[in-house]
Amino acid sequence: MDTTVQDPLVGQTLDGRYRVEARIAVGGMATVYRAVDTRLDRVLALKVMHPGLAADTGFVERFIREAKAVARLSHTNVVGVFDQGTDGTYVYLAMEYVAGCTLRDVLRERGALSPRTALDILEPVLAALGAAHRAGLVHRDMKPENVLIGDDGRVKVADFGLVRTVDTQTSVSGALLGTVSYLAPEQIGHGTVDQRTDVYACGVMLYEMLTGAKPYSGDTPMQVIMQRLNEDVPPPSAAVPGLAPGLDALVARTTSRDPAGRPADAVAMFADVRAVRAGLSPQELDDRPYEDARTGGFEDAVPGGAVGSEEPTSVVARPPAATGQDSDALHRTTRLPLPPPEAPDPRHPVARSFASPPPPPPGGRPRAGRGRRGPLAVLAALLVILGVGAGVWYVSDGQFTHVPAVLALSQADAQHKLTSAGLDTRVDQDFSLTVPRGSVISTDPAPGKRIRSNGTVKLTVSKGPREVRVPDLKGRSLADAQQRLRAAGLTPGTVTKSFNDSVPQGQVIVTRPAAGTQRAPGTPVTLTVSRGSAVDVPDVIGDSVTDAQQELQDAGFTVVLAPEKVFSDQADKDTVAVESPEGDTQAAAGDTVTITVSKGQQLFPVPDVTGKKSSEAKQILQDAGFDVRVINLFFGDSVFSQSPDGGGQAPKGATVTIWVR
């Protein structure tokens, strides 16, 4: 049920600037609203701390820390923070508004995702976290609720409310702050975090995207925590048979209970993900072994209960096992079984050299002379084997190396790393929505693949998002301008109207960004549309209805008479009491002016105070909304007359005179 209308902030303007339009979401610390920045005329998200927490300096500091932390990050996949401030009891952040949904919404609607879709979402998440990790920041609360997916397909990481610098203690009085399903074992055990705790949470999210369910379930948060301490995250293919082994291995590495077994940070995990993707066939990337939860069958196919259940950020008591009773559980790692080595090809010369000797001739006796030549023959054979083996090693392995992981590095850093490995580089460029400009999108051969020691690695470096030119829309109708923006790959943005003497009413005056400007696809373009020439609105308050209609029509306006009359202290009965827009302002010719007719002053009953003491009579009349004038005759204290008389009527604020004797 939509409870926006009951929210006291909706309709208000915070700090004289941010007009709150609707409530988007409610969390444990704050409520998020859609709002309009009236100064810059743009839609944004307003995150307002619950007033009950504003008195807690710790919560306020965390709020301000979020603003400062995100302000340090300039990345296309991080939800930007524009402003931070207070207005009375309200502490707020003004943030970028992302029209779309969360990853949690997608999981709830679709259940398990294809590997391609899961990796397409995970990569920009890691790009955002990589920027934070390189800035020395750890998110600490990565979960599907904090991954926003815009209507244009862009993926952004939100809610850096729990962000900390690396190696900062996160526990308070033995409690854990975070979302239980995504806490890393070391967070539970020791309360310290580094970049690998975010990597762990991303590994759990990958498992959830591939299977549609969380890896652990329980009736209480403590049950989930104990499973995490004592059990490895199961391979996704155990829940969804048919998933590629490379995905199982990726989940196992990123959710290792020993932090040392995980990628060092989000940048390293990004490279790992790209390497795994490169090793998957199109069928392995696009297979959906089960129907999703919406079409039936998936909830029964995976463990863990309801698909995509939400879980808030919370404070949970740390389990006793995390303080030392089961310390070994924190250091056990998942090890995937390796396939048995392939049998050597008997046609290969080295394989033949190490093959089992031929069986002895019938009778079990060697041929004559074998005994005398045995030692020399063995030595000669050994030398031949060693020579051939060394030659084959040089040909097959000695001339080769493995391509270092350079994904997401800057072009200069990547080339330096490859050159240090003895490899040449060739650079191509391509557009990318997720990889920042100047960073490596991919390599050929892929990271970890074999290449000759003096070979050349092709680097594909990001040019940033593909840019398109904003078309010239001046003089076009609003509908035509919006259609042309969509055709150019841009998004029609906010429409504002302005008076203009040269551009006809209803046509575009200007766009922001300006015509000819290069922008990324999907960029919103604000349109300013002409209202035509400005016309002064006559002031008709107090005029008769007929005179007011004639005067407004003569000025070029359409006149509408409001169906209901109103009381008015300024306008006599049956004259104009209200005019919208107001008189002495400006509007466009042809605009509608609404007038409302007066019912005259509203009258209220006058209490009868005769016979009462003067002080009591005065209080009764004032409580009824009237001013009181006291005339004292003969120095008495009893009211013997009043005007207006008791039982009559008078407007609020009118003066009632009482005579006392």
Task: Please give the full DSSP string across 52-115, using - where no structure is assigned.
Answer: GGTT-HHHHHHHHHHHHHHHT---TTB--EEEEEEETTEEEEEEE---EEEHHHHHHHH-SPPH
Q: Select the highest-mean-pLDDT range: 214-218, 253-257, 461-465.
A: 253-257
**Which one-letter amino acid corresponds to residue 330?**
L
Q: What pLDDT is stored for residue 248 in this prediction?
A: 95
How would residue 300 be classed by pLDDT, with cut points 50, 70 and 90? very low
Q: What pLDDT is stored for residue 405 in this prediction?
A: 87
Lowest mean pLDDT among 142-156, 228-242, 317-331: 317-331
User: In 279-369, which residue ranges form alpha helices assigned H by DSSP?
Assistant: 282-286, 298-301, 349-354
**What is 603-660's CATH topology?**
Trypsin Inhibitor V; Chain A (3.30.10)
Phi, psi (rounded to 5 degrees) for 360: -65, 155
Q: What is the pLDDT of residues 153-193, one digit of tens each?
A: 889 998 875 555 444 443 333 344 456 778 888 877 667 78
Active site residue 141: yes
Tally the C-alpha atoms within 13 A of residue 190's C-alpha that lie toward its C-beta: 14
Name the residue with higher pLDDT: 332 or 145.
145
* The CATH classification of domain 1-97, taken from the options 3.20.20.100, 2.120.10.30, 1.10.357.10, 3.30.200.20: 3.30.200.20
**Per-chain mean pLDDT for the chain:** 79
Phi, psi (rounded to 5 degrees) for 389: -60, -45
Decide: 612 and 578 in contact? Cβ < 8 Å. Answer: no
Give percent of the chain with pLDDT exceeding 90: 46
DSSP 459: E
How would residue 63 be classed by pLDDT, with cut points 50, 70 and 90? confident
- Residues paired with residue 595 on neighbouring β-strands, in sequence order: 561, 579
**Sign of the torsion angle spanned by Cα atoms 487, 488, 493, 496:** negative
Q: What pLDDT is stored for residue 595 in this prediction?
A: 95
Three-state DSSP class for residue 198: helix
Q: Which residue intervals of the chain bear CATH 3.30.200.20?
A: 1-97
Give percent of the chain with pLDDT exceeding 70: 76
Three-state DSSP class for residue 228: helix
Q: What is the pLDDT of residues 24-47, one digit of tens each?
A: 888 777 889 999 999 988 999 999
Decide: 608 and 629 in contact? Cβ < 8 Å. Answer: no
Q: What pLDDT is stored for residue 212 in this prediction?
A: 92
Decide: 29 and 74 in contact? Cβ < 8 Å. Answer: no
- 48, 91, 96, 101: which is closest to 76 by C-alpha? 96
Q: What is the pLDDT of residues 486-534, one digit of tens each?
A: 988 889 999 999 999 899 999 999 999 999 998 878 888 999 999 888 9
How would residue 231 be classed by pLDDT, with cut points 50, 70 and 90? confident
* Cα–Cα distance, 359 to 172 (Å, whole number): 74
User: In 168-254, which residue ranges form alpha helices assigned H by DSSP?
Assistant: 185-190, 195-211, 221-230, 236-239, 245-254
Q: What pLDDT is stored for residue 397 in this prediction?
A: 41
Q: What pLDDT is stored for residue 463 in this prediction?
A: 85
Q: What pLDDT is stored for residue 24 in this prediction?
A: 87
> For the chain, what percentages of helix, strand and coil (3-state, to nearest 5) are there?
30, 25, 40
Q: Which residue intervals of the chain bear CATH 3.30.10.20?
A: 400-462, 468-530, 534-597, 603-660
Domain 400-462 in CATH 3.30.10.20: yes
Q: Rounded to the nearest 5 degrees, what angle is found at the Cα of 46, between the Cα atoms of 204 and 66? A: 55
Stated pTM of the model: 0.47
**What is 468-530's CATH topology?**
Trypsin Inhibitor V; Chain A (3.30.10)
Three-state DSSP class for residue 223: helix
Q: What is the pLDDT of residues 433-473, one digit of tens each?
A: 678 889 998 999 988 888 887 889 999 998 877 788 999 99
Q: Which residue intervals of the chain bear CATH 1.10.510.10?
A: 100-325
Q: What pLDDT is stored for residue 474 in this prediction?
A: 94
CATH architecture of 100-325: Orthogonal Bundle (1.10)
Name the residue with higher pLDDT: 113 or 188.
113
> Looking at 37, 56, 105, 141, which residue is catalytic?
141
How would residue 240 be classed by pLDDT, with cut points 50, 70 and 90? very high
How would residue 274 be classed by pLDDT, with cut points 50, 70 and 90? very high
pLDDT at 635 over 90: no
Q: Could you tell me which residues come within 8 angstroms of residue 530 by beta carbon, excluding any fewer than 6 positions away? A: 497, 498, 499, 500, 503, 504, 505, 506, 507, 508, 509
**Which one-letter amino acid corresponds to residue 158?**
A
Q: What pLDDT is stored for residue 311 in this prediction?
A: 56
pLDDT at 59 over 80: no
Decide: 206 and 122 in contact? Cβ < 8 Å. Answer: yes
How would residue 126 be classed by pLDDT, with cut points 50, 70 and 90? very high
Q: What pLDDT is stored for residue 20 in this prediction?
A: 94
Name the residue with higher pLDDT: 288 or 159.
159
Name the residue with higher pLDDT: 318 or 255.
255
Lowest mean pLDDT among 161-165, 339-343, 647-651: 339-343
Q: What pLDDT is stored for residue 196 in this prediction?
A: 95
- CATH code at 534-597: 3.30.10.20
pLDDT at 70 over 90: no
